[in-house]
Amino acid sequence: MTETRLSRRQALMAGAALPLAAATAGTARAAAPMLGAAMPQFHRFTLGGFEVTTLLVGTRTVEDPQTIFGMNASPEEFAEVSAANRIPIDKAQFFFTPTVVNTGSELVLFDTGLNPEGITGVLAAAGYAADQVDKVVITHMHGDHIGGLSGAAGETFGNAAYYTGQVEFDAWEMSGDETFEAKVRPLAEKMTFLDDGGAVASGVTAMAAFGHTPGHMAYMLESGGRQLVIAADFANHYVWSLGYPDWEVRFDRDKEAAAATRRRMLGMMAADGVPFIGYHMPFPGFGFVEARGEGFRYVPASYQMMLG
């Protein structure tokens, strides 16, 4: 039998380790709390001399998306396309993304979201105040684009001038729509009405993109030799709208005209390599278009806009 002796230093170290070993064996370390899913509220990049910021004012899950997209496709085709792109057929996620552009001399806001609280809150998170907005551009007059114009406190953007399409305003003016009457008509005297090619500011040009609504407009941004399209709603899903531009969409007022607009606008952006911001694209809402087969493919932007 061999006798084992411990030095004084070894004995002290062994004794000090005992409480730690006992604590580790007897109790588990407290886990960090679950915080829930989260997304950024804004995303900013430069386009020539412009700063462009997309603003996430809301997102929601929608059930049974084929009641909205691909209404003229068979359930089998819709399911096959969705499976190939790894998205479910029983639900979809909608995003609501206004855009603010700082031209260097003016702050221009494209669309206003669903309510004043949503747009002012995200503007504040992005470093802006509502009273700094010089111009508000309304691409079309669906409620999720005009909802932030005013509320119980009155006009949201008290220092702003307003721009919208002449054809769009005229169509809604005769519609009797309650949201139009509450949000848009009171601002009519402060509005500038645009036709195709009309200018909002230097480097900001209206582009007729009719069909989703009678006078729906997109806008071309141009600065420092670079271009980007504010697409609004002429294409509302990154797979079902881009890949299959002839698929009917429930919210398109004139479905044939909307499909023709998608093909024309997507074809131009694919041919010229022009990126776009889509109001309902997955946040941060901007990417590129590639021609693919008889349709197109959405290529989300990565670091291209960080490289100047």
Q: Which of 237, 229, 298, 238 is nearest to 265 (CA)?
A: 229
Whether the predicted pLDDT of 8 surpasses 80: no
Binned at pLDDT 50, 70 and 90, residue 1 comes out as: very low
Whether the predicted pLDDT of 65 surpasses 60: yes
pLDDT: which is higher, 19 or 108? 108
Angstrom distances, CA of residue 270 to CA of 240, 264, 306: 17, 10, 21
| Residue count (the chain) | 308
Binned at pLDDT 50, 70 and 90, residue 75 comes out as: very high
pTM: 0.89
Question: What is the tens place of the pLDDT at every residue in 143-159?
Answer: 999 999 999 999 999 99
Distance CA 218, CA 205 (A): 9
The partner residues of 109 in beta bridges, in order of sequence, read: 100, 136
Which pLDDT score is estimated for 235? Answer: 97
Mean pLDDT of 123-138: 98
Which pLDDT score is estimated for 113? Answer: 98
Distance CA 167, CA 265 (A): 19
For residue 178, give every residue at least 6 positions away whose Cβ sits within 8 Å of its Cβ, in sequence order, or none: none
Which pLDDT score is estimated for 28? Answer: 58
145 and 232 Cβ atoms separated by less than 8 Å: yes
Distance CA 29, CA 25 (A): 10
pLDDT: which is higher, 8 or 213? 213
Lowest-pLDDT range of 21-25, 122-126, 282-286, 288-292:
21-25
248 and 71 Cβ atoms separated by less than 8 Å: yes
Q: Which of 223, 219, 225 is nearest to 276 (CA)?
A: 219
Mean pLDDT of 112-137: 98
Which pLDDT score is estimated for 308? Answer: 66
Question: What is the tens place of the pLDDT at every residue in 250-279?
Answer: 999 999 999 999 999 999 999 999 999 999
Q: Which of 173, 156, 71 is nearest to 121 (CA)?
A: 156
The partner residues of 94 in beta bridges, in order of sequence, read: 60
Q: Which amino acid is at 16?
A: A
